[in-house]
Structures are given as structure tokens and as C-alpha cells.
Amino acid sequence: MTRVAVLGIGLMGAPMARRLIGAGFEVIAWSRTLSKADALRPHGAVVAGSPAEAAAMADVVIAMLADGPAVTDVLFGDGAAAAAMKPGGLVIDMSSIPPSLARDHAARLAASGVSHLDAPVSGGTRGAGDGSLAIMVGGEEAAFETARPIFAPLGRAIRVGPAGSGQLAKLANQVIVGVTIGAVSEALLLAAAGGADPAAVREAIRGGFAESRILEEHGRRMIERDFRPGGMVRTQVKDLDTALAAAADAGVTLPLTQDARERFAALRDAMGGGGLDHSALLLQLEAASGRRLTAAPDQRPD
């Protein structure tokens, strides 16, 4: 039985760990907040007291952490997970971090005989729970083939290139998500301001060229004013900042992404919305226009 350590038991890591347990993997769970890892014990997980302890017991280490510095610290800093791994092991970093940092991690692990895949995901907590995540993978073909059985219960994995390429694909995803959330918000506000029923407009345009997962799920959230997270505003800002930095390095200008980033940042900073679902960009656009999409009360995290 393949032993998989999951480092980071949060909104995404917890349902992913449960999927792996259900698929027959032995899962070792670690979280900075011990109670989050402990919640997996009834499902059959072994709980580790440190990243190094988890990594020492595992054949494969999955990291699902907040950002690049957190991954670096867990692998190479105080967490010391990389040093605890046996040669021939595999690290699958499913966090969203800068492509350059993913390439650095891959090189550092290769020097100690450990393979690395950067494999960020899209699909949110719903996709993590039902195993329908889009998994964008960068790294060597042989490591990808080794990881296929692990990816299978989590979602659809596609290798998109060498180390760092998975993170580039995730940035492309986040650019599309961030800009499209803004477009759906503006479209529904326009419809409501002109006297149309925004819920009916959403249904009417579905199936046409405007159809998208954002219109389906985030459009529904906007109409119902359900801003309890899935994907958080603060995470969206982080990812758009990373995308803009990568674009600057590549000499590419992304004006729509820049505008979306400023609006998400205003929602986070001026309106205290960092912990809301990113569909709450609607709130920033409502404030700017002086109009409210629907009369339903806002649903926010407790």
C-alpha cells in the first residue's frame, strides 16, 4: 500500500485526504493546527506531529499549503520534510506558488534523489470533495506516471510541461477566473439595473457563448448572496499578484488582470472581505455603482 503524507489539512487538504483514504491509500496527515489533522483520525488517517515525521513515514508527500514561503519552510526550513524523505520518494506540491519557486524546489529535491511535481488545482472545495479537480502538472514524465494513481481519486491530471509549468497553468486559470468573476458581476448588475430579473437572465444566457463554470456557480452565489468561502478573496489577490509578476518577467502586459487585481484588493483591504468567497467581488462593484443586485441578505462565514 502506498503511503501518502498530506501536509496542510485545510479547506482543500482535508477533503483531498479523505478522497485518498477512500481510494485505499494509507494517509499520514499533518497540519499546523493539530485539531484539523485529528479530525481525519476517524476516517483512518495517521496523524503526525511534524512535517518531518509525516515525510519519514511516506512514499509520497503532498503539500497543500497557503503560499510559497509556507511550502519552502515545510520542505526545507523548520519543517524539514525534504531531509526526512528517502531517496526515490516523490513530492507533489499542490499549493499555488510562483513558477520560479517551484523550479527551485524541484532542483533542490533532485539533488537529494527525490522527484518533484508542481500540481496546483482548480475546482475549489466542491471539486476537492467530489474528486473533480482540474490538476495542472509540471515535472518529469516518469514522476507524472508514478503519480497517476494518486491523482486519480482527486480529479483530472494533465502534464503541461517541465518543472514550473503546472504553476504557470494555474496562473492562467486564476487570470481567467478573476477576470470572469468581474465580468459576470458586471453583467448581472447591468441586467438588474435595467429592470430585468438577474436570476432569469443568468438562466437565459446559460448554454450560449457566455456559459462557464463561473456563470453557473459564482453567478448563483451572487444571486443568492452566498459569500461563504470556497476560494477566498485573499487567495485570489495572491494568485493575481503572482500572475502579474510572472507577466512582468515575461514582458507581457495584462491590463484586465491588473484591473481585476485592484478590485479584489479593494474588497480585501477597504471592505474587510479577505475571507469571503471570491464571488464577493460583486460587493466591490455594487459599492462602486451604488446598486445592489438582489435584496437577499448576505451569507458570510461565521
The answer to whether position 9 is within a domain reads yes
- Do 97 and 203 lie in a common domain? no
In a domain, 301, yes or no: no
What's at 292, amino acid-wise? R
Considering the domain architecture, whether residues 198 and 275 belong to the same structural domain is answered as: yes
Residue 289 is predicted with a pLDDT of 96
Task: Please report the pLDDT score of residue 230 as a whole number.
Answer: 84
Say how many domains are in the chain: 2
Q: What is the CA radius of gyration of the chain?
A: 20
Spatial contact of 169 and 136, defined as CB atoms under 8 Å apart: yes
Last residue of a domain, one of 118, 136, 161: 161
**Grid coordinates given for 192:** 438588474
Residue ending a domain, choose from 107, 131, 161: 161
99 & 29 share domain: yes
What is the rounded average pLDDT for all residues in the chain? Answer: 97
pLDDT for the residue 1: 75
Residues assigned a catalytic role = 170
Claim to verify: residue 12 and residue 133 sit in the same structural domain: yes
Q: 102: domain range?
A: 3-161
Q: Which residue, 180, 181, 182, is CA-closest to 288?
A: 182
pTM value is 0.90
Q: Which portions of the chain are predicted below pLDDT 50?
A: none
Q: What letter does residue 226 receive in the DSSP assignment?
A: B
**Per-residue cell: 66:** 497557503
Domain C-terminal end among 104, 131, 161 = 161
Pair (138, 256) in one structural domain: no
Is residue 49, in this structure, part of any structural domain at all? yes
Please give the pLDDT value at position 221. 98
Q: Which three cell numbers stand for residue 277?
A: 468567497
Neighbours of 107 (CB within 10 A): 11
